[in-house]
Amino acid sequence: MRISTVRRVGLAVAVAAALTSVGACGGPDDGGAAKGDGKAESRGTAVVKTNAIAALLDVQKKTGAASSAKVDATMVLGSAMSMKQSGALDWSDGISGSMKITYTGGAMADTLKKAGGSSTMEARYFKDGYAADMGAALARQTGGKHWISYSYDVLAELGGASGAVMKDQMQNTSPSQGVNALLASGEVKEVGKEEVRGVAATHYSGTVDVAELTARTSKLDAGRLAALKKQLTDAGITTETIDIWVDGNDLLVKKTERGQMKTGELNSTVFYSDYGTKVAVERPPAGETIGFKELLQQQGAAGTAS
């Protein structure tokens, strides 16, 4: 795999992760951005939730506190990429865990195929960054190092507004962020009762203004926030429809996000199961790992030499 190709692939993954995460930006932990009073009334020993906001406040709390789960997901990001992912994640202190990622279509899959790389890779997530196994094609270019290590600080530095958002999201994310987004928008309704992979669930839906939600919940300074809004506008992302399905224990079992980009649809579906599962992840061996910034520096040195 050519180093220039790895650079393009690496930056594309970072930007994609940032753009798809802003639609799930977390609202305030106490649901303070939600519209509606969220009241519940008691009838005997049961508590009857009077509206969708009240129900989602319980989901937000219980899903966020669950700490870990198994995850099974698919995502389409316009013509850039489509992928499927499976693994287990822990969000008790930032994101940690391991996911198997397969690029199933789009420019990303084509680039990997032409470069001789595998369309399937492993990603390991840590509090300060993540590592991706790019396989033998990368190892041939880096003296046997087939893992790329991405520091969130480096991605924030190199990626501008997208990198800053990605850093914030990956260090403060949990499955309840889809719930937070609906609470922050205030535009949420209960659709009905449905079954999700054999589990009885309640379906909620709402539409989120991506730029407004980002402005309200982001920790970015004014300059980077303006840059991010421009980036979203240039990409054609304005609103997303978020649907969630919740089981009888107020735990999220499914989430979908749908929107439009200039390059096509933005569509993701995530299933959650086995809450509380044990998640253990090890950093790849140092001798088999190269930092993304170091990779870029090597490319620059190679370009100068030629």
User: pLDDT of 171-188, one tens digit each?
Assistant: 767 788 788 878 877 678
- Name which residue leads in pLDDT, 193 or 297: 193
Q: Among 157, 146, 119, 141, which Cα is nearest to 11's?
A: 157
Contact 292/8 with Cβ under 8 angstroms?
Answer: no
Q: Give the rounded percent of residues in the chain with a pLDDT score beyond 70.
A: 72
Alpha-carbon span 108 to 146, nearest angstrom: 18
For residue 143, what are its two tokens?
């003296």
- Computed over every residue of the chain, the mean pLDDT equals 77
pTM of model > 0.85? no
Q: Count of domains in the chain?
A: 1
pLDDT at residue 48 is higher than 80 = no
Could you give the residue ranges of the DSSP H alpha helices within 115-190? 136-139, 152-171, 177-185
Q: How confident is the model at residue 306 (pLDDT cuts 50, 70, 90)?
A: very low
Q: What is the phi-psi region of residue 264: left when phi exceeds 0, alpha when psi lies from -120 to 50, beta otherwise?
A: left
For residue 78, what are its two tokens?
């316009």
For residue 302, what are its two tokens?
């190679």
Would you give the DSSP letter of residue 94? B
Alpha-carbon span 116 to 127, nearest angstrom: 31
pLDDT at residue 18 is higher than 70 = no
Domain interval for residue 166: 3-305
Q: What are phi and psi of 14, to 5 degrees?
A: -65, -45
Residue in this structure with the two tokens 């195929």, named with its chain if needed: 113
Q: How confident is the model at residue 10 (pLDDT cuts 50, 70, 90)?
A: low
For residue 13, what are its two tokens?
């993954």
Amino acid at site 155: L
CATH number at residue 207: 2.50.20.20
pLDDT at residue 122 is higher than 80 = yes
For residue 51, what are its two tokens?
């509206």
